[in-house]
Structure formats: structure tokens, C-alpha cells
Chain A
Amino acid sequence: MSTVQPSAPKKIDYSSDQQVRWCPGCGDYSILKQVESVLAQHGRPKEEIVFISGIGCSSRFPYYLDTYGMHSIHGRAPAIASGMRSVQPDLSVWLITGDGDSLSIGGNHLIHLLRRNVDLNVLLFNNEIYGLTKGQYSPTSPEGAISRSTPMGSTDHPFNPLALCKGADATFIARGMDRDPKHLREMLERADAHPGTSLLEIYQNCNVFNDGAFELFTEKASKAANTVFVEHGKPLLFANGAKGIRLDGFTPVIVDLANGQATVDDLWVHDEHDSFKASILVRMFDDPREPGALPRPFGVFYVNERQTHETKMNAQVALAKEKKGDGDLDALLRGENVWTIA
């Protein structure tokens, strides 16, 4: 009899038997594929992985994976995941959310999740629109956005999601896009490796209600000129190396390397542990249609290893047990002042 060696896990091992029901051409497919790929690469047993989502197109995600999963209620996944994480410190926990789910109805929970630094990976699918309710503007839609609920254009100023997260003291901030799977996969790996709340914003195209919202960043013809992919220890170069970003005090400015205006040595060198510079990086949020707009950054903006919430919570329980001994139920029932009636 021969022994069968367990083969390395494949992507398909992490897929559930459920038919994926996103619209054909939706950016979500690409993200699902990369997540499956990262899970397979890690090879972590399926029962040790949990996906928790809120409500929205992206939040159907857990149904398509053969892991543990909860499709909860609108905006509340961070709170549910925080509770779960408190009692399950050893599992791999992923939180799937969208721009409406996490920045509108669940905005409060997101910022508190980040300040607490609960160890899980937040994948924020940003498509700048409400898809599941069929096309209303979202908290990330640009001012003036024409949608079904804003026929004359949105009057709301949008959130800058990563600036918001930086303001909430997030310990891991990154941005990727559905149309760059290789980079996305790298971002997913980095997010998964970070102990603490990893916030990965993913630009995701809704081809039905907001097609092309990010096309200047994602399409071959315009991508190089409008994006800058940051890497730790490397200068901020874009436009295929023809341009770069120099810091003029606190102000990022575009410099031309081709015409000798500046050299690579003049450029801002990305340091993902620099909190102040990360605050500038998240603020590089210009409308790419405006002349002279700064390129939109992608990559890991910021990493800070701060103790996680559940570590501190468990440490308190351990300390209480050390000081008072394991709880004695009879002593608790008895209390401090007992009298006896014989």
C-alpha cells in the first residue's frame, strides 16, 4: 500500500460549491481570485479561516469561499469581528466591506476598529457607488457625481478613505486595484502578514453603475501618468521613470527627471514606518482630471506594529488570574459580607 502525500493546497480547495452571483465583468471576481490564491499559497487549514462581511455586493464574498463565514448586517462587520477576535485569537480573520458599508452606515465601527487595532484584514472594496441598491452615490463619490439619487450631481464632499484611516491611527494602510492582480496579490500578502488591523483599500470597478470610475489609474494608456506605486526604501517614481515626487517641506511636488530638472537623489524615498510622511501620502488625492494633479499612490503606505486589542485584553485576564487566582465561583456567590441563619 502506498502512502498518499498530501498535495499542496490549490486555489480551488478554498472555493465553496456556491455559484458566484456578481454581475459579469465585475471587479469583485478579480479580487476573489487573488484572495483564493493567497489563501492557497499560505496553505492554512480552511477551518482556521473566517470571513466576515456586512451588506453590499462585496459582502457576498464569504459565500464563495469554503472557510467559516458570516454575512452579517449593514456596516456592523467590524464590531462582530472584534467580538469574535476577542475570543478566538488564533484564527485568520478577514473582513470584507465596501465604501457604503464601511464609510457610511458603518463609519463609526471602522474608526474604532482601527484605533483598537484588532488583528484582522479589512478589504475595503471601493467602487464609489452603491451597487446592490442600484446606483446611488456613495460617501466616496466625487462632488457633482450624477447618480440615480443625484440627478443634478452630488452636493456631498467625499471621504478620502485612507486619510480617514490614518486619522484613526490605523497600523497598516495600503491601496491596490482590481485591474492589477499581481500588485493586488502582493498587497493581500502584506495585509495578511501584518499583526493588527490591516486596511487595504481596493479600487474596484462597478461596470454596471459606475463603469470606468478609476480608469485613469487602471487603464494602460493613462495608468503610468496618473499613478505612483510606492515601495519601502525606494524613490517615488512614476510615468515609467520619467517623473518623480519631491518633498518641498511638507508639500509633494512633481519633478521631471527627463529634462534634468531633478535627479533620482532629489526624490522622496518612501519609508512605510514614517507616520508623518504617510499622512502626506494619503493626502495625495487629487482629481486626476485636473491639470497638474499629483499621481494617485498605490502600495503599502504605512505600517506600525502596535500591540493588538485582543493581546491586551488577554493579558489583563491573565494578570487578573495571576493576582487573584483562577476565579472561584463559590467565593463569587458568597461575596464579602455573609451571615448565617442556623
Chain B
Amino acid sequence: MDTIPTPRPKTVEAREKVVILFAGDSGDGIQLTGSQFTDTNALFGNDVSTFPNYPAEIRAPQGTLAGVSGYQLHFGSVDVFTPGDVCDVLVVMNSAALKANLGKLKHGGTIIANSDGFDSRNLRLAGYPDEENPLTDGSLDNYVLHSVDVTKLTRNALADTKLGMKEKDRSKNMFVLGFINWMYSRSLERTQKFLEAKFKSKPELLEANLKVLQAGYNYGDTSETFTTRYEVKPAPMPKGNYRNITGNQGIAIGLIAAAQKAGLELFYGSYPITPASDILHELSRNKHFGVKTFQAEDEIAAICSAIGASYGGALGATASSGPGIALKGEALGLAFMLEIPLVVVNVQRGGPSTGLPTKTEQADLWQALHGRNGEAPIPVIAASSPTDCFEMVYEAVKLAVEHMTPVILLSDGYIANGAEPWRFPEAKDLRPIKPPFATPRDSEEGPYLPYERDDRGVRKWAIPGMKGLQHRIGGIEKEDKTGNISYEPQNHELMVKLRAEKVQRIADTYRPIRLDSGPASGELLLVGWGSTYGAIRTAALELQQEGHSVAHVHLRHMFPFNNGLRGLLKQYTKVLVPEMNSGQLRQLLRAEYLVDAAGLNKVQGMPFTSAEIKAGALNLLS
């Protein structure tokens, strides 16, 4: 007779924060495992920050280093701003995953390894020398190693099902997820609900996944090797309602929210590209908001269709990544010249050319600012975190509509796919957006002047169908006020100035510049932008705690700059600009403000760790 083993008493230790990295083949379901555990922790009340990191190939060669997919999760009972510099726990499904990620594990950290992924074939594919198995040769003695035959245990759990071996093995990730939930004293409820929804129409797969999930959990309870569970208490976050959100979700939701507040129909023209496609997916699921999504034949058609929609009185938006933005350049110039609202999101990835499609970088700042022929200044703003993607796309729409201009929003792969808790707003609290519509009139009053401007330099939005406002616009230089074709030399210079002044005046609408942390004057100012926010913030807070005179300002408006930036830069002896590029913002600051800004630059397709920022700052302080 089988006996159910009695769970041994286990101790529970509290942890302030934990960094776990799940890694395996790109077909192992790593991203799902990671995002499920993230949601569970976030729902529990932890602060979370994540970093999904996967290869560009959908199914890269199995078992090789090139095929390793990873999902790093930082969760804590205290504020967390980054996915973590080093990991406390490394979960690996095969030898390649271990080899690729061991360097990220802290000394004394825990390894949970699927021993089945360390057979001679996997070891060879991962490039381990013959006869060497890190699980058994003592090379991991500096770590706490738990070798678990996940494959076998998964198959055992499904012994009495009719599923084939391949299908059984596909639930391996659920075993790991169940086990990790046990290890961190979490309930399986959230994932069970998720599986029920996912496999609604496939009851046999639902049952198998639930079984294996539970088996993983029970394994922790009953196995004698695991004597300790951990607990990470909820974080003391501001009161309110929270949800989890990725940057790309933030952009999709923000576009819909802004369009609704502006009373405009949202039209989104897009061509699939990593890492921006999720915005299209999310928007196409929300047609009940009147959202129209258009998967165009190419990047050029994507932006042009959005321009057409804006011309037609809707909010036209498009998103892409660097190579796609390059193709959109001419049309961006047209939108600038027409002076119509348009939102263009660049979810940056490693470049140049195809570059590193699934890795992150901030190297398209100059492209956003300068990537057009002629003088075509377009407002450029940047999001600093997944939740900030919502804020900033809302800002992009507000600026575009109220100032009749295209606006570029820079995000990047790191925050686009990364998730964090979001204290979401209520619709009624969102800032109003007021389109400057023209007023229809009787045509007898004389020709309509489409390029007449208000005191902010902004023209009115006259939409086809509005009576008495027929006019012609185009990319060719136009006469002031009338919009008629003009090659007159003085007029061209005037128009170049008028267009630039209009955009420059947008800076008058910004809130005053504000430090993220640190003293109002002092020795060192860290100037950041975009997704480096979490790493710089963490480093700055630590440096301040250690008594250094360091402040941190994070720029949201890359063009035009905040009017207060000039004065702020003067308050510090030194300025350091950490960027995931070779110094693009640094050069802009030097050119604009004649400030001797130093650079801290990382161009590896990977985000900064806070330790790297701290070391760079200390280096400059010494």
C-alpha cells in the first residue's frame, strides 16, 4: 500500500528581497514560468521588477548556449527599482542555461538544476569538456546545489494520463513553478486560475498542467533535501489599487486612455517588429474602445496610414523599433511639415541595422532627434520604467494633439517586456487633452487660412468634412498662413523658424525640473534618461546613504529640454551621464550647455546593474 509521506517540519526564514533567474531552452516555457511567479508575488503585495531575456530565434538549437532564454525577477518587501544585479537563486533546465548564467549568481547562491538536462548530450551541446558534469564534479561547491530530475518527476506525476511523452515533458516548467511557489510560501491559486483560462478548451492538458504544478509544490513539502522555506512580506507601498504592467501594455493602454480623454478615435498603423509588436497585439484586442488597428504592408505604410488617419481627424499612432523608425523617416518629416498630431513610439533595441533584436539599448536618441532631412525638430520624450510608459505615451498624445506636431516616444526592450506593479489611475483623474479643432464656416468669408497660428504658434486642426475649411496641405514648402506652394526665399526661412519656435515653446508647458534624489547642489549630478532609471536610482540612494554628495535627475523630455536643466547642471561640480550607448545624451548636454559632462557607457545589449553605476560614480568622485 502506498503511503503518503508525512511532510517533515520545515523552517521558514524571512527575506527582504530575492532575485531569481529562471533559465532554460527557448522552448522550455521559461517566460511563462517567470511571468506567472511575478504575478503571484505582485498580487501578494511585493514590489517587483523583471527582466525577460531571450534569443531572437523562436526555437534556437536546443541545448545550446545560443538557445538559452532567461527571466529574471526581483521581488521584495522593500522598494525594488531594478531586476537585480546578482541573483540569489538560479533555476536551470539544462547545462547550457547553467553555463550561460552562472556568472550572475552570487557566491553561496542557490542552484536548482534539472538533472535530466545534464546528460552527456546536453553537456556536449553546452560545451562542457568530456566526462565533466558540473552537478557532480564538485565545481559548484561554492553554491547550494539542488539537483532534481524534473523530467522524471513530471513524467511520474502524469503516469496515469494518456498524453504522449512529448506532451508530458512540455509541462516540466509547471513542476518548477510549483516548487518555487512552495519555496517562497506562495499560494498556487493565481496560476491555477491562469491555467484554467488558458486550457479552457483542452481539459486533458489543463488537468496535466495542474497535476504537475501541484506535484512540484508537494515535492518541496515532502522532499528531505529542502528544509527551509522563505517568506518575503508585502512591500510598504503607497495606499491604492495596483496591477502588474509591462511597458508595452502601458503604451497600449495609455494610447487608448489618451484618445478617449481627447475625444478622438484611435488609429494604430503598425508593421510587426520586435520588441514593439505587443503594442499592436494589445490594441487589436480592444476594438470595443473604437480602436482601429491596421497591420500595414511595411513600416512606411504604417506611419503613412497613421498620418492619413490624423488628417482624417483621428489620433494616428504608430510604433516600431530602430530599423523601422529609419524607414519612417521621410514620413515623419511630412507629418512635421503638415503640422498634424502623430505619436511615434520607438521601442529601442540593440543596433545598428538588425543588430540585437531581442536585446536592449538606448542608441536611437540621435536618430529620434536628427533622423530627418532638412530642419525638422520633433519633440522627443522618453519613458523610464514600465509604468512610466503609460505616463509618457499619455504625455506624447497630449503634446501631439495640443501642439499639432508629431511626437516621438522612446522606450526600449528592457522596459517594454519588463513588468512592475502599477498604482493605476482613475479615468476621471487623467489630465484633459484639448484638440485645437477649427470651426466650420460659410465659404463665402474668403479663403480659409490653414497655417494661421495662435500665440503658441499652433495652427488649427481642420478636418475633411468640415464645411468651408477646404484647404491643401503637403510636404512641399508652403506660404505662411495660406499653405499655398511657395518657393519664396524669405518665406522659407520664416516657415523654418515658425515651425521650430512652435516646438521650442512646448518646453514652457513642462512642470519645473525636479531631482529624483539628492541635494539641490553638490559634488556630482547623475543625469539619466529612459530605462536606466531603476539602476541609477538604486545607486544614487546607496551613495547618498554612504554620505556622498550625489544627486540624480532623470530626463523625460529629450527635446526640447526642460528650461530648468541649464541652471540645475551648474549646481554640481561634476556631471555623469550613464547611458546604454556611447554617449548620445552626454554630447547633447555638452553642445547645448557647454558643461563638461562625463559619460558612463554600456553597449552590451544588457541593462546597467546599479553596482556598475555606483562604481562609475565613485570613480569620478575619487
Q: Which of B292, B312, B447, B466 has the largest number of chain A CB atoms within 10 A? A: B312
A18-B256 Cα distance, complex, nearest whole Å: 40
A41-B290 Cα distance, complex, nearest whole Å: 36
A69-B484 Cα distance, complex, nearest whole Å: 11
Q: Are B45 and A341 in contact (CB under 8 A)?
A: yes
A45-B265 Cα distance, complex, nearest whole Å: 24
Q: Are A68 and B313 in contact (CB under 8 A)?
A: no
A63-B486 Cα distance, complex, nearest whole Å: 12
Residues of the A chain whose Cβ atoms lie less than 8 Å from the Cβ of B302: 79
Residues of the B chain whose Cβ atoms lie less than 8 Å from the Cβ of A332: 253, 256-257, 286, 289
A309 nearest in chain B by CB position: B294
Stretch with Cβ within 8 A of A (4 or more), from B119-127, B360-368, B471-479, B508-516: B471-479
Residues of the A chain whose Cβ atoms lie less than 8 Å from the Cβ of B471: 68-69
**Provided the pairs A72-B334, A340-B242 are in contact, do residues A83 and B297 lie with their beta carbons within 8 angstroms?**
no
* Distance in Å: Cβ of B45 to nearest Cβ of chain A: 6
Q: Are A87 and B292 in contact (CB under 8 A)?
A: yes
Per a CB cutoff under 8 Å, which of B234, B301, B314 touches A341? B234
Residues of the B chain whose Cβ atoms lie less than 8 Å from the Cβ of A47: 440, 464-470
- Kindly supply a per-residue 1/0 record for chain B positions 238-258, scoring 1 wherever the CB is within 8 Å of any chain A CB and 0 otherwise: 111111110000000100110
Q: Are B242 and A88 in contact (CB under 8 A)?
A: no
Q: Are B464 and A68 in contact (CB under 8 A)?
A: yes
Residues of the A chain whose Cβ atoms lie less than 8 Å from the Cβ of B427: 329-330, 333
A336 nearest in chain B by CB position: B243
Residues of the A chain whose Cβ atoms lie less than 8 Å from the Cβ of B469: 47
Residues of the A chain whose Cβ atoms lie less than 8 Å from the Cβ of B267: 83, 86-87
Say yes or no: is B39 at the interface (Cβ < 8 Å to chain A). yes
Per a CB cutoff under 8 Å, which of A48, A80, A333 touches B311? A80
**Provided the pairs A46-B470, A47-B465, A67-B470 are in contact, do residues A81 and B308 lie with their beta carbons within 8 angstroms?**
yes
* Distance in Å: Cβ of A111 to nearest Cβ of chain B: 8
Stretch with Cβ within 8 A of B (4 or more), from A203-211, A234-242, A317-325: A317-325
B425 nearest in chain A by CB position: A333
Interface size on B, residues (CB 8 A): 75
* Distance in Å: Cβ of A32 to nearest Cβ of chain B: 14
Say yes or no: is B493 at the interface (Cβ < 8 Å to chain A). no
Say yes or no: is B426 at the interface (Cβ < 8 Å to chain A). yes
Q: Is the interface of B mostly helix, strand, loop or mixed?
A: mixed
Residues of the B chain whose Cβ atoms lie less than 8 Å from the Cβ of A72: 304, 307, 334, 474-475
A74 nearest in chain B by CB position: B330
Say yes or no: is B87 at the interface (Cβ < 8 Å to chain A). no
Q: Are A86 and B292 in contact (CB under 8 A)?
A: yes
Q: Which residues of chain B from 272 to 327 have any CB-CB distance to chain A below 8 Å in the complex?
A: 286-292, 294, 296-298, 300-302, 304-314, 316
Q: Which residues of chain B from 468 to 513 have any CB-CB distance to chain A below 8 Å in the complex?
A: 468-476, 484-485
Residues of the B chain whose Cβ atoms lie less than 8 Å from the Cβ of A324: 288
A316-B297 Cα distance, complex, nearest whole Å: 20
Residues of the B chain whose Cβ atoms lie less than 8 Å from the Cβ of A81: 308
B464 nearest in chain A by CB position: A68
List residues of chain B with CB under 8 Å of any chain A CB: 39, 42-45, 190, 234, 237-245, 253, 256-257, 260, 265, 267, 269, 286-292, 294, 296-298, 300-302, 304-314, 316, 330-331, 334, 338, 424-427, 440, 443, 447, 464-476, 484-485
The 9 A-B residue pairs with the shortest CB-CB distance in the complex, in nearest-first order:
A83-B308, A71-B474, A327-B289, A83-B305, A79-B304, A320-B287, A79-B301, A84-B308, A80-B308
A-B contact pairs, 5 of them (CB 8 A): A47-B466, A47-B469, A71-B476, A321-B288, A342-B239
Known A-B contacts: A70-B338, A81-B308, A82-B294. Give 15 more (CB < 8 A): A47-B440, A62-B474, A63-B484, A73-B330, A73-B334, A76-B300, A83-B269, A112-B297, A317-B287, A329-B289, A335-B244, A335-B424, A337-B39, A337-B244, A341-B234
